[in-house]
């Protein structure tokens, strides 16, 4: 008997029906690399330094000068000559005069300073005046965050001192006088700090990813209450972010490992009763996926209305940039991974819309002197399509959760989702050394 062969239109209909039920992820951006400077590590911040309506790049690469790069020319301008500034730098209007100032801890001096923007006077190359914020005694100033802790409308600063259990809160007071509050309330002597309003009372609280500190109405004289929620994470070395991951109007806590050979999970935690708990854990990156993770940033990278998560591994690990896209319409239980190997590794990555197209870009560097300072520009709406099924992508249930989508084995993918046979050849880029960055 002759076998029945369906006509071509029937095959097409069957294929269309199959593809209808195959989960298709919306487009995710491609990224192209520009090297801002060769041979240095460092940290980044973004702010409109020159008041032209476009955000500029602040670069700390101590002991080199603290600088800002005007966008789009990337021409460099000096803020401070030398200084041991390379861990974290922040930008904001410290003195309330309408322009963007710069704040950072200087490691050797064991002091936090802020530099006053002279652009208000019309000369972008005029000297920046340095002002003291506060100091610390022992330990290493690993994390440095800025936000309005006491609700007076002025930016305050929080310093996490690695090697101790201490946070130092610097409150921006009247007439340029800063008050220091010492809090020996961290869970361990590791790293990790984020600020955000976790209890919904209108002020900013502090978290190290394992506990969170409830800010009192009077941060100087009031009692700071510690709430433990994630002390079984596996390491006091964390990176932390606070954001409304599932868009329910409450702040959640995102936690990844940091500076450890342990391949721990990255997860986010939610609670409708944050003071008493419980906190519910949602896995983003399963344990075993990456070691020596160091960065953590939250932002709507693909501009689909839901927050995504950026992390990465430094030169001791896989050197990968790792982005997890929320493909669960804000529920935060299904994540699509986009991964590529960077030239040196991902130690300090910052999400920021550098070119003003509405899509976050990535500023990144590794923590060795042979590293580069990198700008990864998003392609924006010119996006690639990823599917959640196929011979090289696998779904797997973990801890009775919906399936996590992850890459099998040691295969790597380029930014259009095609498997590459050579693991080391991950993404084609066109690095350029900026002639303006001196």
Q: What is the pTM of this model?
A: 0.83
Strand 140-147 vs strand 129-135: parallel, antiparallel, or unpaired? unpaired
Query: In this structure, what DSSP letter does residue 191 have?
Result: B
8 Å CB contact between 45 and 93: no
Residue with the two structure tokens 């990555």: 349
8 Å CB contact between 260 and 237: yes
Query: Residue 312 belongs to what H/E stretch?
Result: strand 308-313
Strand, coil or helix: 120: helix
What are the tokens at 157?
A: 């600063």
What are the tokens at 91?
A: 């930008």
Tell me the per-residue pLDDT of 93-139, one tens digit each, with 9 for 90 and over.
999 999 999 999 999 999 999 999 998 766 777 899 999 999 999 99
From the list 131, 100, 126, 99, the residue with the least C-alpha distance to 115 is: 131
Burial (CB count <10 Å: 0-12, 13-18, 19+), residue 188: middle
8 Å CB contact between 167 and 185: yes
pLDDT computed for residue 397 by the predictor: 24
pLDDT computed for residue 381 by the predictor: 66
Ramachandran class of 236: left when φ > 0, alpha when ψ lies in -120 to 50, beta otherwise: alpha
Strand, coil or helix: 106: strand
Average pLDDT along the chain, 438 residues, taken 10 residues at a time = 45 34 59 88 92 93 89 92 88 95 95 92 82 95 96 96 97 92 96 97 97 98 98 96 96 97 97 98 96 96 95 96 92 93 94 94 88 91 42 27 26 28 26 25
CA–CA gap between residue 414 and residue 45 (Å, rounded) = 28
Query: Residue 12 belongs to what H/E stretch?
Result: helix 8-21
Tell me the per-residue pLDDT of 171-204, one tens digit each, with 9 for 90 and over.
999 888 999 999 999 999 999 999 999 999 999 9
What are the tokens at 113?
A: 């300073």
Full DSSP string of 138-151: SSEEEEEEEE-SSS
What are the tokens at 273?
A: 């009763």
Query: In this structure, what DSSP letter does residue 237 have?
Result: B
What is the distance of C-alpha 391 from the center of its chain?
31
What are the tokens at 280?
A: 């519910």
β-strand partners of 69: 57, 76
CA–CA gap between residue 81 and residue 85 (Å, rounded) = 11
Residue with the two structure tokens 């802020």: 114
């Amino acid at each position: 008997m002759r076998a029945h062969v369906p006509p071509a239109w029937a095959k097409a209909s069957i294929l269309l029906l199959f593809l209808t039920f195959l989960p298709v992820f919306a487009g995710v951006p491609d990224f192209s690399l520009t090297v801002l400077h060769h041979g240095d590590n460092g940290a980044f911040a973004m702010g409109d330094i020159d008041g032209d309506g476009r955000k500029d790049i602040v670069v700390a690469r101590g002991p080199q000068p603290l600088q800002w790069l005007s966008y789009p020319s990337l021409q460099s301008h000096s803020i401070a000559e030398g200084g041991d500034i390379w861990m974290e730098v922040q930008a904001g209007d410290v003195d309330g005069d309408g322009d963007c100032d710069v704040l950072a801890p200087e490691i050797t001096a064991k002091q936090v300073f802020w530099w006053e923007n002279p652009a208000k006077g019309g000369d972008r190359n005029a000297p920046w005046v340095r002002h003291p914020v506060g100091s610390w005694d022992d330990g290493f100033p690993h994390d440095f965050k800025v936000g309005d802790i006491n609700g007076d409308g002025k930016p305050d600063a929080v310093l996490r001192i690695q090697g101790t259990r201490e946070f130092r809160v610097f409150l921006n007071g009247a007439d340029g006088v800063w008050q220091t509050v010492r809090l020996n309330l961290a869970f361990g002597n590791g790293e990790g700090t984020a600020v955000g309003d976790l209890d919904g009372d209108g002020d900013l609280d502090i978290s190290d990813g394992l506990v969170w500190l409830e800010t009192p109405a009077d941060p100087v004289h009031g009692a700071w209450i510690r709430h433990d929620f994630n002390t079984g994470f596996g390491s006091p070395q964390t990176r932390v972010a606070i954001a409304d991951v599932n868009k329910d109007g409450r702040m959640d806590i995102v936690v990844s490992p940091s500076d450890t050979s342990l391949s721990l999970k990255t997860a986010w935690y939610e609670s409708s009763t944050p003071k008493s708990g419980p906190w519910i854990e949602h896995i983003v990156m399963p344990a075993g996926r990456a070691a020596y993770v160091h960065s953590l940033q939250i932002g709507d990278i693909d501009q689909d209305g839901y927050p995504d998560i950026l992390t990465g591994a430094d030169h001791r690990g896989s050197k990968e940039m790792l982005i997890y896209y929320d493909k669960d319409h804000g529920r935060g239980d299904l994540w699509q991974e986009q991964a590529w190997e960077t030239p040196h590794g991902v130690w300090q990555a910052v999400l920021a819309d550098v070119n003003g197209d509405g899509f976050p870009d990535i500023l990144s560097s590794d923590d060795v002197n042979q590293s580069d300072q990198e700008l990864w520009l998003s392609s924006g709406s010119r996006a690639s399509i990823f599917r959640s099924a196929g011979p090289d992508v696998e779904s797997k249930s973990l801890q009775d959760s919906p399936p996590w989508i992850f890459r099998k084995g040691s295969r790597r993918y380029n930014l259009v989702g095609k498997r590459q046979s050579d693991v080391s050849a991950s993404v084609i880029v066109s690095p350029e050394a900026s002639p303006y960055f001196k």
